[in-house]
Amino acid sequence: MIVAGEPSGDAHAAALVSALHERAADFSFFGATGPLMRNAGVDTIVNSDSLAIMGIVEVGQVFHRFMRAFRDLKSAAIEQKAVAVILVDWPEFNLRLASSLHRRGIKVIYYISPQLWAWRPQRVNRIRRDVDLLLTILPFESNWYSTRGVSQVEFVGHPLVGQVSAKFDREEFCRRYDLSAHQPIISFLPGSRHKELQRILPPMLDAIDLLGEDRKELQFVIGVAPSRSIEETKQIITRNEGSPHLERIRIVHGNTREALAASDAAAIASGTATLEAALLSAPMVIVYKESPINWHTLGRLITSPFYGLVNLVAEKEIVKELMQDDLTGERLAAELTRLLEPETNDAMRKSLAQVASKLGPAGASKKAADVVLKFLATSSKNKLTM
């Protein structure tokens, strides 16, 4: 059984499934799936598309869905006699499932290890108790877990390495979106969830207004995530009373990597997209904005020194983070202006190259598949000799 609950987890899980199929064709998979996992041949017990929700209020409103999904997956694992369950990210749900299935003798493999180093680190006790093999994708995580008593842990590299590239260059990007390749481009990526779009896009639009007033040569791109629509984005722009520089904004759907590769600077919602930007050498500001209740309740639990993955991998702040109340049009415009300065821009590109080198070589999904197969073979051998 394999379980993923968010778009990024769906992508990583699908790549792992494909790598396992290449190595062992007799594998069959079932579980909680997104569209990419279904395309990879995973039978759907739970459709996870409707469960990719963040926040206390949001989850509370659909809590019954999570409970039903939990029961369905637990029953399926037992009835289909799963030899193992691979849990991908999604810790609030998956750690509970790990506990339930591990008690029933099912081997638990956790891929994309929970970010316990960021918040509620005491949950490492549950990893020690309920997880048989932990696979990490960030370079500092293995040491964090091993020093806290997790013995079966291995860094397999980040799945994005070798997978992130632009399909076409800056010249072609500008031709397709009616931009000038000779004038600066700033991209804005407000996130992949509807609530992120609602909260993060308005201050981005404020920054565009300020930048557009001061710098007539600047060009602006709003990158719309695959899970969001152009129409949804336009509605928020309209509700935000439009923009006097609307004619200078290009809305890009589906070509966000190409937008980042073509950009001189970018503002990006905290998450996996920031690592994509690092791999594309795109100077950036990391931003985020939650509902006040979520920020007040969950924000206090965060124990890591940084929010952005790029800074966590670098182990220092190389990218400015504008979180919650710090995310204003004025501050974002000022940071993006600073990033356009040639020396600052060049220095960040060099720092991002160092971050990219720390993420490991290409082929993380294949390495993860090799580790999983070795673990299952060893587990099977041990079981036969008992």
Average pLDDT score over the chain: 92
Counted domains in the chain: 2
Contact, 90 vs 4, CB < 8 A? yes
Q: Which of 157, 128, 167 is nearest to 370 (CA)?
A: 157
- Residue 208 phi/psi, 5-degree rounding, is -60, -40
- Residue 57's pLDDT band, with cuts at 50, 70 and 90, is very low
**Residue 158 DSSP SS3:** coil
Same domain (yes/no): 322, 177: yes
- Identify the DSSP state of 162: T
**CB burial of residue 60 (10 Å; 0-12, 13-18, 19+):** exposed
Same domain (yes/no): 262, 304: yes
Give yes or no for residue 192 having a pLDDT over 90: no
- What's residue 54's pLDDT? 46
Strands (E), the chain: 2-4, 30-33, 43-47, 84-88, 107-111, 133-136, 153-155, 185-189, 219-224, 249-253, 265-269, 284-288, 321-323
- Residue 240's pLDDT band, with cuts at 50, 70 and 90, is confident
d(CA 356, CA 314): 9
Span 339-347, mean pLDDT? 98
Higher pLDDT: 293 or 280? It is: 280
Q: Which two tokens stand for residue 262?
A: 């073509």
Contact, 137 vs 362, CB < 8 A? no
d(CA 354, CA 357): 5
Residue 183 φ/ψ region, left for φ over 0, alpha for ψ in the -120 to 50 degree band, beta for the rest: beta
Same domain (yes/no): 349, 230: yes
pTM above threshold 0.85:
yes
Span 28-53, mean pLDDT? 91
d(CA 290, CA 148): 31
Same domain (yes/no): 281, 216: yes
d(CA 279, CA 364): 15
Contact, 112 vs 134, CB < 8 A? no
Q: Which amino acid is at 169?
A: D
Span 175-193, mean pLDDT? 96
d(CA 283, CA 342): 11
Q: Based on C-alpha coordinates, what's the Rg of the chain?
A: 22
Structural domain harbouring 353: 170-358
Span 202-209, mean pLDDT? 96
Q: Which two tokens stand for residue 82?
A: 């799963």
Same domain (yes/no): 255, 139: no
Same domain (yes/no): 264, 288: yes
Contact, 119 vs 303, CB < 8 A? yes
Give CA angle at 110 (66, 124), nearest 5°.
90
Buried b / exposed e over 327-338, threshold 16 CB at 10 Å, is bebebbbbbbbe
Same domain (yes/no): 22, 142: yes
Same domain (yes/no): 177, 140: no
Same domain (yes/no): 378, 338: no
Same domain (yes/no): 41, 70: yes
pLDDT per position as a tens digit, 68-123: 999 999 999 999 999 999 999 999 899 999 999 999 999 999 999 998 998 889 99
Same domain (yes/no): 184, 318: yes
Same domain (yes/no): 81, 229: no
- What's residue 386's pLDDT? 46
Q: Which two tokens stand for residue 271?
A: 């998450």
Span 127-139, mean pLDDT? 97
Instruction: CATH number of the domain at 320, please.
Output: 3.40.50.2000
Span 158-177, mean pLDDT? 96
